[in-house]
Every structure is written in C-alpha cells, then in structure tokens.
Amino acid sequence: MECFKKLGLIEPLIKSIEEQRFTEPSEIQREAIPLVLEGRDVIAGSATGSGKTLVFGAGIIQNCSKGRGIQALVLTPTRELAEQVAESLRGFSRYKPLKTVAVYGGVAIGPQFRDLKTADVVVGTPGRILDHISRRSINLTRVKILVFDEADRMLDMGFIRDVEKISKECPHNRQTLLFSATISGDVGRLSQRYMRDPVEVSVESYIDSSKLEQVYYDVPDNLKFSLLVHLLKEESAAMVMVFCNSQRNTDFVASNLKNCGIDALAIHGGYSQDKRTRVMKQFNAQKRVYVLVCTDVAARGLDIKGVSHVYNYDIPRESKTYIHRIGRTARAGEEGKAINILSERDYDNFTKVMRDRSLKVEREETPQVERVKIQVMDKPDRSNRGRGGSGRFGGSRNSGSSGGSRSFRGSEGSRSSGGSRSSGGNRSSGSSGGSGGSRSSGGSGRFGNKHRRNSGSSRDSGKSQGRGRYN
C-alpha cells in the first residue's frame, strides 16, 4: 500500500483499495493520479482494464462531499459501462460515503428522478443525461469534475453534439478529465474546446504483447462456423469472447454454438437493458457459460476479468477496433490468445487491419474439421447494409441465380450444383455438408499463397481441411 500512499491518496481510499486486494498501481495510475489530485485537466490514453476508474475516482472521492449536490459527472458511451463505473466508485468510496447514481436509457426514468435529487456523483450515457437536462431533473451547476470515459467510442457512436451540450451545462471553472484508448482528431478537438491547458498522459499498452499470441486461419466460407466450433472444443480456455460485426450474426453464432453443445450467451445493443444485465451476471458468474458472443458496441467498456481467448468470427473494419478486441486478454501478466477466422468476405477488412505494422499475426494451418449442422436464421439482417455487405449474415446477397453469385456471410453452406453459393447451409435437409466441396476464387493474398481450390467433397469422410486466400 505504500506505493498508493505515495500518490497522495487519502486514508479512506487506501483502505478501500486494500480491501479490493490491489497491490501496486498500474502505469496509468502512477502517471495520472498525482496530476488529477493537483486539479489539472488530464487527457489519458488508456484501455479498459488499465485501472483508469481509480484515476478519476481518486479525484472525485477526495474532492467531493456528501449532501452538496451533484459535484461530479462521468459520461460513458454504454449503459453497461455506466453501471460498471458507478459500482466501482461505490466500492472506492466505501469509507468516505458518496451517493453515486447510474443514469442511462432502456430502463424506467421515474426512479432516476428520485435518485438525482440526492446524488453526489452521477455516471451516465449522454442521451439520458440530456433527457434529464431537458426535463430539468438534473442540476449540473455545482459540478467540480467532468469525466469523459471511453471518449473515442462516444465520438465514434455519434455523441459529439450531446457531449458538447452537456459540457456547456457544467461550470466553466471545473476540472475535466478525458480517457480514451486512442487519441484521434475528434478527441483532440474536443479537448481543445472544453479543457484548460490539459496534460496528456500516454502509457504503454496494458496488453503484454509477449504473452499475447495472435493467429489467423483462412478457410472457405462453408467451414467458418465449423472451425469455430472445433477450436472452442479443442483449445484449453478459461473464459472466451467471440466478436461479430452485427447483431444478426451475434445471435446466429450464439444460437448455433448452443446447438453444438457449447454453453454460450449473446449480448448486443438490440437487447433490453434488463436482458443485457442478466447476460453479464450469468457470464461473470463463470458457473456454466464460458463463451460470450458479442458486438463491439455492447462489449465496449466492460471490464471482464479472466478472458483467455478472443475470437474474431468477423474481422473488424479497422485496426483500432481490432486492438480494442484483443485487449480483452493477456492482461495483468496473464497469457492470452487472439484467434481470427478468415473467409473470403473478411479479406478486405483483414488487409486494412494488417496495415498497422505493430500487429504481429501469424498464420496457422487449418486442422481437419468436422462439419457441423447449423440452423439458418430467417429474418434478413438489415443492420449492416452498405457497411461491409448486405447479405443474410452480413455479406453480399445470394440472388438465387446459377451464375456464381457470392454470399460471403454464410457459415456452413457449400456451392450448389448450379454454381451459386448458399449463405446458410442446406435448409431443407438441415445438413451443412452441401452437395460438394467448397471453392475459393483465384488470386494472391498479401499474407500467404495464392487462392487454392478445395475440390475434395466432405460427404465421404465428414471432415474437411479448409484453404482460402491467405493459406
């Protein structure tokens, strides 16, 4: 505890930290806490799980007093992060009690009216905070500390105008703290407009690259899901996160994993707040479910401990999102593994991700994979149109013609006798074996050899070894 005392933390906070079994401050805590306690505006580059909540929590707890109105406001991009931050602040303030209230949409607003009347600290999402401002049910005139948590994600989600309106409701002589995994141009502009002579603190990644193994497999479209099932059953894992690019595909993957005997839960922005909360409680309990299938928005900001493996079932569109995803594992000295499952529809995204030269992703030979049956979802996915595909599972749609139209998002279907690809398997038979072997088109890939045809049918052996563009 001496290391924390040297940072200038008060005894009640030290006692709470000790009870939570913190032993040494993280890099962001060592660098930023003294600046926060000095009252400086701070821009801190830090990822989820780096210990940043204690950084701004220290300033809030040491400078706010109970019963004097709302003195601190923390803005977060998602409901889950708001609840998580609020819970952490309650824990840190155990021996200097402050009433911390979480405010977000998707739940009844009535109880929030009551809680805000006696709140000392408010943690909330921009939309619901603005709602309360318009209803005059929140008073921000006494705010001493304004925190932008996960600022880059808030701006990515289109909250810039909301954040600006909220900032203007707070006193000008406040302290402003901004935390962001990446310091982009928009984040920089936000700091210029609403911060006073900020100090920028940049720390090394919380991920230990020496303990994080990154690999990719390149397979035909019709082996993508089967390979995921194979790896989940064969890899020795603790807790697993599987990332998808759309709500539709998240539900598809989670549902079919359950059908294959793998305990999995899905979480995405299409669920109600109550359901998202139940999912996270069940996953964190670690009693039965060990695979969480999620979208980036739903998972952003959630500090889930003990994740050993991260799977990218869909490859993200940019390296920034990829880095956020793989940052879920290899934390605090633990080993981790990031596994990317590529099919033809992922090539463009993977090429964009790999433009970040700091990433070292090694190719793995595809093992012999037993094809599994899948259940095709019926409703079309419209959430991803115009952004990386518009087909049933996020790729281009199968027009039903025999001219070889491509459907990149399917999982276990194979090329039909007419030449068009099925995106979701053979619906009439329920089998994913299809009518023959799969084929990936010719061409050379940046990370491997040329496209190769996989002409062997899986009907005889029931197994197939996939080869795609990057193999």
SS (H, E, C) 288-326: CCCEEEECHHHHCCCCCCCEEEEEECCCCCCHHHHHHHH
Domains of the chain by residue range: 2-202, 209-374+437-464
Q: Given the DSSP bridges, would you call strands 369-370 and 463-464 parallel, antiparallel or unpaired?
A: antiparallel
Equal fold, 2-202 vs 209-374+437-464: yes
- Which of the four pLDDT bands, split at 50, 70 and 90, describes residue 137? very high
pLDDT digits over 295-325, tens only? Answer: 987 666 676 778 899 999 999 999 888 988 8
- Asked if the model's pLDDT at residue 283 lies above 80, the reply is yes
- Asked if the model's pLDDT at residue 196 lies above 70, the reply is yes
**Tokens read off for 7:** 């940072």
Residue with tokens 């115009």: 386
Residues 6+ apart with CB under 8 A from 353: 315, 316, 318, 319, 322, 359
Considering just the CA atoms, what is the radius of gyration of the chain in Å? 24
- Which of the four pLDDT bands, split at 50, 70 and 90, describes residue 205? low
**Tokens read off for 268:** 């995405």
Q: What is the CATH number of domain 209-374+437-464?
A: 3.40.50.300
Sign of CA dihedral 449, 361, 342, 182: negative
**Tokens read off for 28:** 């962001």
- Range scoring the smallest mean pLDDT among 133-137, 149-153, 245-249: 149-153
For the stretch 325-328, contacts whose Cβ atoms lie closer than 8 Å and that sit 24 or more positions apart, written own/partner, are 325/241, 325/243, 325/296, 326/207, 326/212, 326/214, 327/47, 327/48, 327/49, 327/181, 327/205, 327/206, 327/207, 328/49, 328/241, 328/299, 328/304
CATH of 2-202, one of 3.90.870.10, 1.10.10.10, 1.20.1630.10, 3.40.50.300: 3.40.50.300
Helices assigned H by DSSP within 46-125: 52-63, 79-92, 110-116
